[in-house]
């Protein structure tokens, strides 16, 4: 019995020492190497011939803004143009245009109270290549965007093909 009691005491002492020896110490976990998500199909998307050959924001005789341009995109493609004051995230206006014979021209771009005043603006051009944005004919002609390459070609949040280009102009 004394022997069992001594054995139990020894086991208790060893367990107590093991627990105490770990107190106050932080066990360092092996650092994992930082990794970036890589999508094989995004390599080189921005390399290639520009899809927009010419963009010309301009003012009409009555002071409203319009944008016209020539593009290497199929007829019927829908392109969105958003307008912001330079250095601000406040959306002033947004219009959509449809490409016709590789050309587009926006309707008048107005602010909440009419023509926008002269000044510096940021223009954002966006085209998403999915069934919600483009017609089946456009999607067929661009191969659902998989083959698009050039400045501004990217992927949207779910990996679909997209075109996004930003420029600043004083008008």
Q: Give the pLDDT confidence score for residue 40 in this predicted structure.
A: 45
The model's pTM: 0.72
Q: Give the pLDDT confidence score for residue 59 in this predicted structure.
A: 96
Question: Which one, of 166, 139, 145, 157, lies nearest residue 45 by Cα?
Answer: 145
User: What would the CATH number be for the domain defined by 46-170?
Assistant: 2.60.40.10
The answer to whether 71 touches 53, Cβ cutoff 8 Å, is yes
State pLDDT tens for residues 56-111: 999 999 999 999 999 999 999 999 999 999 999 999 999 999 999 999 999 999 98
Residue extents of the structural domains in the chain: 46-170
């Amino acid at each position: 019995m004394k022997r069992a009691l001594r054995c139990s005491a020894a086991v208790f002492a060893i367990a107590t020492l093991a627990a105490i020896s770990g107190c106050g110490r932080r066990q360092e976990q092996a650092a994992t190497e930082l990794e970036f998500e890589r999508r094989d199909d995004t390599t080189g998307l921005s390399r290639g011939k520009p899809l927009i050959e010419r963009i010309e924001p301009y003012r009409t005789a009555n002071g409203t803004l319009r944008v016209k341009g020539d593009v290497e995109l199929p007829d019927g493609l829908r392109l969105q143009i958003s307008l912001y004051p330079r250095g601000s995230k406040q959306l002033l206006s947004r219009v959509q245009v449809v490409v016709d014979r590789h050309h587009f021209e926006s309707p008048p771009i107005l602010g909440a109270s009419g023509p926008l005043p002269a000044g510096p603006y940021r223009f954002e051009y966006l085209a998403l290549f999915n069934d919600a944005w483009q017609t089946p004919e456009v999607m067929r002609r661009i191969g659902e965007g998989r083959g698009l390459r050039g400045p501004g070609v990217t992927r949207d949040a779910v990996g679909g093909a997209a075109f996004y280009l930003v420029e600043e102009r004083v008008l």
